[in-house]
Amino acid sequence: MTARHSGHAGSGRPRASSRRMLAEAAGELFLEQTYAGTTIDDVARRAGVSRATFFNYFGAKSDLLWLEVDESLESFDSTLDGVSRELPPMEAVLAAVLALADGFGPGRLPLAVTQVELMGTDAELRASALPRFLALVGALTGFIADRTATRRDELLPRAAATAVVGAGVSAATLWAAAGVRRGPLAPLVRRAVEPVCRGYADAWDHP
């Protein structure tokens, strides 16, 4: 989304109403008064925009917790399209997942994850993670079905996609909890996802 607006609301300081500026305002408030204690009106006021402007950029308050993740997921379809068709199907899956993980480093971890206790975001992160998990599963299911010449409603494409995403999420969860010892995400994702891809690579040879 490239549109930009500016505005004033109450005593909030004027800011460009981009998604990132709204997320930064929300992060400040979540630290000051917790996630549950902060309303959308609070965020809009701190960012210096209207409530209506907030909904130009976010569908719900929980979306503020996932800005970095959602920005990466928005480009995942093009990442999948860019994977060479010369690769075997599950090697192509691994390449795509690693390309997604490469976009994350310690500096791109959402504040709501690193400050989960102060912000009180644990329950909301768990609840709002599910739609993103399912979106990834859906994208990978279609990709695997296409690369293996199977229907996306068959068992194996969906099972393989679910297993891959589950392994990747497990790696990302450990990575997020590593604190100052946290390094790049991609190597950890490789360790978790590569065995899954190897296992499912045989499935189309031995149905």
What does the pLDDT look like over 81-131, one tens digit per residue? 999 999 999 999 999 999 998 877 655 556 666 677 767 788 888 888 889
Spatial contact of 165 and 131, defined as CB atoms under 8 Å apart: no
pLDDT score, position 160:
97
DSSP state of 109: S
Cα separation, 95 vs 116, in Å, equals 31
pLDDT score, position 3:
35
pLDDT score, position 109:
59
CATH of 65-201, one of 2.40.10.10, 1.10.357.10, 1.10.10.350, 3.90.180.10: 1.10.357.10
Q: What is the pTM of this model?
A: 0.81
Cα separation, 140 vs 123, in Å, equals 27
Looking at residues 181-185, what average pLDDT do you find?
79
Looking at residues 28-43, what average pLDDT do you find?
92
The distance from CA 81 to its chain's CA centroid, rounded to whole angstroms, is 19
Using pLDDT thresholds of 50, 70 and 90, give the confidence band for residue 9: very low
CATH 1.10.10.60 placement within the chain = 6-59
Crossing angle (nearest 10°) for helices 19-33 and 40-47: 120
6-59 is classed in which CATH architecture?
A: Orthogonal Bundle (1.10)
Q: If 0-12 CB within 10 Å is exposed, 13-18 middle and 19+ buried, where does residue 126 land? A: exposed
CATH 1.10.357.10 placement within the chain = 65-201
